[in-house]
Amino acid sequence: MTETIKIISIALILIGAFFSLVASIGVVRLPDVYTRNHAASKSATLGVISILLGTFLFFYVEGHQNTRLILAIVFLLMTSPVGGHMINRAAYYTGVKLWDKSARDDLKGKVKIKDTLL
């Protein structure tokens, strides 16, 4: 049983590292702020949560119940999407252009875009 849970925790940590790698590749490869932010906030959140869950399981088997890791998972689930939302919102309101192949822009003409130094 102990070995099974350890293998599960190894798998979770590897999945988390893989998702973090995917997030960083997405930030480099995608064309504009919005798609990059999409990659960073979603994929990196899942990656970090997966790593934390793997760590929790590993130490749980060893006999330590580290509730701070659970708290960190809940905290990340709540805050990371909001952080991504705020960055996207700030980018849109300061007039950052969408990718020229973007199909739709529902906010167009509905919000006042500030003139900035951009």
**Binding residues for another protein (CB under 8 A):** 68, 71, 74-75, 78-79, 82, 85-86
Select 14 or 82, whichever has its Cβ closest to another protein.
Answer: 82
Q: How far is the CB of 51 from another protein (least distance, A)?
A: 19
Select 75 or 99, whichever has its Cβ closest to another protein.
Answer: 75
3-state secondary structure 47-108: HHHHHHHHHHHHHHHHCCCCHHHHHHHHHHHHHHHHHHHHHHHHHHHCCCCCCCCCCCCCCC
Select 12 or 69, whichever has its Cβ closest to another protein.
Answer: 69
Q: How far is the CB of 73 from another protein (least distance, A)?
A: 12
Q: Integer distance in angstroms from the first to the last C-alpha of the chain?
A: 58
Decide: 44 and 20 in contact? Cβ < 8 Å. Answer: yes
Q: How far is the CB of 43 from another protein (least distance, A)?
A: 20
